[in-house]
Amino acid sequence: MTKDEFITLIKVAEAIMKIDQACRSLSNFGLDEGQCNDVFLLWTLLQDNSAPKYRMEGNTELEMQSYRAFSHILESTTLTPEEKYSLLTSDERDDTNGKQ
């Protein structure tokens, strides 16, 4: 996946998170419930193309830490898509454990 494709997917994910928030405020149900849950395949695609530290490793605790860090970056409202790309594709370990 190219950098531009990855950044485009981040922008799409940001838009989907806004739609999810709107759905929750109107119906108390998010996109992860019911027929709309297929949208989270985008999350998996982004995670699979991120640096190895954010991929599923087969270790439940490590997977949870990686997923929390990955989600924290993707859900950040202060980072630009380009900054998210840089963080998600960096091979350096993040010592913040998803806390920024």
Residue 78 lies in a domain: yes
Residue 36 lies in a domain: yes
Label residue 76 left, alpha or beta by phi (over 0 means left) and psi (-120 to 50 means alpha). beta
Residue 54 lies in a domain: yes
Residue 98 lies in a domain: no
Q: Which domain holds residue 47?
A: 3-89
Residue 95 lies in a domain: no
Residue 68 lies in a domain: yes
pTM, to two decimals? 0.62
The mean pLDDT values, 10 residues at a time, for the chain of 100 residues are 92 87 73 61 76 75 84 92 93 53
Distance of CA 12 to the CA centre of its chain: 11
| Domain total of the chain | 1
Residue 29 lies in a domain: yes
In this structure, what is the dihedral angle of CA atoms 6, 10, 15, 17, given to the nearest 10 degrees?
Answer: 140
Residue 35 lies in a domain: yes
Whole-number pLDDT of residue 8: 94
